[in-house]
Amino acid sequence: MGTAAAPRRFCRCACFCSENLYVARYGLHVRFRSEQQLRQDYEPILRRRGCVSPKDFQQLLGELEQEVERRQRLGLESAARKALIASSYHPARPEVYNLLQEAALAPEFLAAAEYSTSSGADLKGLLQRLETVSEEKRIYRLPVFTAPFCQALLEELEHFEQSDMPKGRPNTMNNYGVLLHELGLDEPLVTPLRERFLQPLMALLYPDCGGGWLDSHRAFVVKYAPGQDRELGCHYDNAELTLNVSLGKAFTGGALYFGDLFQVPSTLARPLEVEHVVGQGILHRGGQLHGARPLGTGERWNLVVWLRASAMRNRLCPMCCRKPDLVDDEGFGDGFTREEPATVDVCALS
């Protein structure tokens, strides 16, 4: 009698605790290893952005040291929150925790995914089934969820937000929102969305970015509202590819803006702006520089799925742009593995 294969162990790169630390007050991502290195690398630009006095710098130093400590504890603390939520939280809309059904998905999304798995499917045919926002930047849009599903998911997210359950930050730039794996929505919602529907689409749209080899993700919902987060500074994602779906509610402003790939030196003098449409998802490369304009009125909730392919990132960490220094982590980690997926021809991806 055969034995079941052990689940794959995912890792993070050690750079997670030293690279790409976001300082909101100065609108800057920094690398932090020591006070001397921070001064040497960033003192001129920090001064230009208002970090002038010794007190300012010491405050910044303390904040960065706290962020490093937070990142070092992140995996274990997240696992503890997930366990507590699983044992003690009572959902308002338990149906959203059922395995993803096609009834929750927009007909246009289902049609595009079905076409992508059909014999003879190609990029030209797929592009006829979605909106090309920018051919140059390879940004696309299509409806993803039905209005009733968006409403049910929003009601559940708001119920969780108002509960006394512990909540993790979605990322270092967003202070309000929900990590879907902690809430227990990875397995029933996001994993089947990636495996059954997004992977065939991404394989045609982004074959050079690992679109056909997606094997993990990080999914979270971000919330923008008066008195909370209102905008998002320019950044790129720790992902090969990204899906960003507008869930609601009623709002004005908050458009996404896109620049070039982060590897391409450029300015954001003339960024491409893309308005949100509730229920619709924007697809883009993770390395595409982007941000969000200030919210005008109302509340905006978005589901963001960072899609990762270990076959790509095992060779080069997208955050430090070096061969990853792997550290074991909880869950999907940051999508790195110590071995190549058995079905991947790495030479074909070079």
Over the stretch 134-149, which tens digit does the pLDDT of each residue have?
A: 999 999 999 999 999 9
| pLDDT given for residue 348 in this prediction | 45
| pLDDT given for residue 203 in this prediction | 98
Across the range 276-303, mean pLDDT stands at: 96
Across the range 27-36, mean pLDDT stands at: 92
> Whole-angstrom Cα distance, residue 331 to residue 61?
31
| pLDDT given for residue 132 in this prediction | 98
Q: Is the pLDDT of residue 311 over 80?
A: yes
Q: Is the pLDDT of residue 244 over 60?
A: yes
| pLDDT given for residue 345 in this prediction | 47
**319 and 13 Cβ atoms separated by less than 8 Å:** yes
* pLDDT bracket for residue 269 (50, 70, 90): low
Coil/strand/helix, residue 306: strand
Q: Is the pLDDT of residue 157 over 80?
A: yes
pLDDT, averaged across the chain: 91
| pLDDT given for residue 106 in this prediction | 98
How much is the pTM? 0.90
Question: For residues 348 and 247, which has the higher predicted lDDT (pLDDT)?
Answer: 247
pLDDT in tens, 90-121: 999 999 999 999 999 999 999 999 999 999 99
Q: Is the pLDDT of residue 346 over 80?
A: no
**54 and 3 Cβ atoms separated by less than 8 Å:** no
Q: What percent of the chain has pLDDT above 90?
A: 79
The phi-psi region of residue 127 (left if phi > 0; otherwise alpha if psi is between -120 and 50; otherwise beta) is: alpha
pLDDT in tens, 183-201: 999 999 999 999 999 999 9
b vs e for 245-282, b when ≥16 Cβ sit within 10 Å of the residue's Cβ? bbbbbebebbbbbbbbebeeeeeeeebbebebebbbbb
Q: Tokens 């006095």 map to which residue?
A: 53
Tokens of 211: 């679109």
Residue among 229, 302, 292, 209 nearest 258 (CA): 292
Q: What percent of the chain has pLDDT above 70?
A: 93
Q: Is the pLDDT of residue 150 over 50?
A: yes
Across the range 5-33, mean pLDDT stands at: 87
